[in-house]
Amino acid sequence: MEVALYCPKMGYYESTAGQVGRHGDFYTNVSVGPVFGELLARRCVEWLEALGPGPLHLVEAGAHDGQLALDILNWLAAHRPALSSRIAYWLIEPSVDRQNCQRLKLENFSSRVECFAGWAGIPKEGVRGVIFSNELLDAFPVHRLRWDASQRCWSEWGVGWDGYRFVWRRMPSEREEDWQAHLVQAGFELPPELLSVLPDGFTLELSPAATTWWSEAAKALRIGKLLTFDYGWTALEHLDPARGSGTLRGYSGHRLQEDVLAKPGEQDLTAHVNFTQLQLAGERAGLRTVTLTEQSRFLSRIAAEVLSERDEGDTKGWSPEQVRQFQTLVHPGQLGRAFRVLVQERLP
């Protein structure tokens, strides 16, 4: 999965153009329009102002082409210019090509934008502000585990080659390890009573890379908020009997592709985020969980604040296009219910 998505020359995210939008493979919060970035900027302003005087940081990881950063910075410059001048906007992006694309998109804000390949490059003073990602962690590589009811154990299934195509194969027994510790770390503390009725072949995905990333982000946060927008469930929701085949999927042309091993590098690969795993990782790093909620609720609260602050005589409000964007972001049949928001914080 990592090679198929991130190989510098042949990976899907590196070599495929036009992935996002009506004519691409999928929609994102950002591709809907600037309203998402404007609402997020408004909430970040509230959090940043609460930190008092001094330098402030907005840190975005996985910024794709930089459009979300542009939407946020444009809103800040227009509506909070004094605060905006105190904010350094940092991008965490390991891809050199992506960094170049982001710099080009954000050239009007070049004096306040800086790119880092990873958390190790962040100044040792850490982040005083907000760290966030949007639809990033679902594309982190996963281990695929299946329950063997006869042997009452989990086994890892990897990718093999049958001479004609890539296929799923059980990993050799000498390479198997005790997955119990990894499952517990991800919030899957399964009692014997549950394991006794767990169907043979029940599949879970584990992403140690997501745990590592979230832990590193938490450690980089000196004071402020850490949040992510993504689609996924809690660990308990992952155990729903209807989800016994796992969540690993491919997407191409806005259509679900069941065969994730076909066309490597030519289709998007995703697995639902386990928010319990992230929550536990952040709490182990000293963060406090503020909220885990549906995107519709999170954005609707911000929108309600916007409307409540309007003067009674103000007839401008949102344009029809802004209303359409907001409806797409919060509608339960579109992005509102599928996406969750996890917010954690480190207090002084």
Q: Is the pLDDT of residue 20 over 70?
A: no
Tell me where in the chain the CATH 3.40.50.12710 domain(s) lie: 2-141+206-248+267-346
Say how far apart CA 12 and CA 266 lie, in whole Å.
6
Q: Is the pLDDT of residue 18 over 60?
A: no
Q: Is the pLDDT of residue 312 over 60?
A: no
Q: Is the pLDDT of residue 125 over 90?
A: yes
Residue 232: helix, strand or coil by DSSP? strand
| Percentage of the chain modeled with pLDDT above 70 | 91
Assessment of whether the complete model's pTM goes beyond 0.85: yes
Q: Which residue has the higher pLDDT, 335 or 239?
A: 239
pLDDT of residue 90: 98
Q: Is the pLDDT of residue 246 over 90?
A: yes
Range 2-141+206-248+267-346 classified under CATH 3.40.50.12710? yes
Q: What is the largest CA-CA distance in the chain?
A: 73
3-state secondary structure 107-148: HHHCCCEEEECCHHHCCCCCEEEEEEEECCHHHCCCEEEEEE
Average pLDDT, the chain: 90
**Using one digit for the tens of pLDDT, what is the confidence trace for 250-283?**
988 767 888 999 989 889 999 999 999 999 999 9
